[in-house]
Amino acid sequence: MRAVPETTPGGPEVLAVVDVPAPGLTPEGVRIRVRAAGVNRADVMQREGRYPVPPGASTIFGLEVSGTVLELGAAVPADSGLAVGDDVVALLDSGGYAEEVVVPAGQVLPAPAGVDLVAAAGLPEVCATVFSNVFMAAAAREGETVLVHGGTGGIGSNAIQMCRALGLRVLTTVGSPAKAAAARELGAETVDYRQEDFVERVRELTDGRGADIVLDVVGGPYLGRNLDALATSGRIAVIATQGGRTGELDLGRLMAKRAAVIGTTLRPRPVAEKSRIMRAVQEHVWPHVESGAVRSIVDRTFPLEEVAQAHEYFDSGSHIGKVLLVP
């Protein structure tokens, strides 16, 4: 089958499609013919040699796919709800940039009704990330305010919609008027971090109270400022370190605000934990996807053979929503 495995760490130019053997079916696995695969920040970090795959996982890139079930492992439960021929989406450890992938059954969900199967590839990783952090780890409650950094990326565009659909007020940082317009269309109130101090603006928008939850992809440089923008008893969920891995934090202020800093990653979690997250996504998020309240925002699709161009475009930061690959 055609796939994009790891080679030498580097820029987009190191990515290429090659022929590799199809993955073997595991007893608990589901073989999927890939219809589309999402491009994510984790893929870029893996390409650069900064995010190794979990032990025993495929070195083929790709953390999420949509597709059609080809085969079920012998140990897949009869009540899994999965059958050969079903259209599905899946959260992966790796392996999505390929024509076929084998995934533990617990990490596979029926494709949401009414959603184009290519566009559906942009849902599993972002929905699992946002729901597990904002609603599970940070325990968001209806009526609270969440600040989402980077509101027009794959994570941000999904977070705005999901948080709005589940009863939260959403503020988001953006870097241009065009991205501000896109974020407002999704239901967020925007802060242009290039023109405004986001801490001051968040305080203004919340009458001095601050945000109850901050969903942060920047990391170290924003650690102290996120605390400044946080309400009493607020929670900061750090899910990426695009700006750096270290920062300073005034522990006295953290304690005075009775606040919490939560750091999580999704990829290295055990199958049982990822399966639990995917079941929660199916229960709490899929109804909003099927109603149209939460959409897969797709910026561009690329053929698998143009994987280098897809990563170059992703690296430019100009995309609004998801970038997808189609084998």
pLDDT in tens, 147-158: 999 999 999 999
Q: Is the CB of residue 123 less than 8 Å from the CB of residue 39? A: no
The pLDDT, as a whole number, for residue 193 is 95
| Ramachandran angles phi, psi of 136, nearest 5° | -95, -60
pLDDT at 151 (0 to 100): 94
List phi, psi (to 5°) of 46.
-65, -45
CA distance 89 to 96: 11
Q: Is 248 helix (H, G, I), strand (E, B) or coil?
A: coil
For the stretch 75-90, pLDDT in tens is 999 999 999 999 999 9
Residues 6 or more apart whose CB falls under 8 angstroms from that of 318 comprise: none
Confidence tier at 34 by pLDDT (50, 70, 90): very high
Residue 185 backbone dihedrals phi, psi, to 5 degrees: -60, -30
pLDDT tens digit string along 109-166? 999 999 999 999 999 999 999 999 999 999 999 999 999 999 999 999 999 999 999 9
Q: What is the DSSP string of 113-153?
A: TTS-HHHHTTSHHHHHHHIIIIIIIS---TT-EEEEESTTS
- Confidence grade of residue 22 (pLDDT, cut at 50, 70, 90): very high
CA distance 326 to 65: 10
CA distance 127 to 285: 8
Q: What is the domain partition of the chain in residue ranges?
A: 2-122+295-326, 127-263
Question: What is the CATH code for 2-122+295-326?
Answer: 3.90.180.10
CATH class entry, domain 127-263: alpha beta
Q: What is the DSSP annotation of 263-284? A: E--STTS-HHHHHHHHHHHHHH
Whole-number pLDDT of residue 219: 93
pLDDT tens for each residue of 259-305: 999 999 999 999 999 999 999 999 999 999 999 999 999 999 999 99
Between CA 320 and CA 142 the distance in angstroms is 27
In this predicted structure, what is the pLDDT of residue 28? 97
Instruction: State pTM to two decimals.
Output: 0.96
CB 243 within 8 A of CB 219: yes
Tokens describing residue 109: 């969900």
Rounded distance between C-alpha atoms, residue 72 and residue 51, angstroms: 30
Residues 6+ apart with CB under 8 A from 302: 309, 310, 313, 323, 324, 325, 326
Residue 119 and residue 108 in contact, taking contact as beta carbons nearer than 8 Å: no
Of the chain, the percentage scoring pLDDT greater than 90 comes to 100
The helix or strand, by DSSP H or E, that contains position 101, with its residue range, turns out to be: strand 100-104
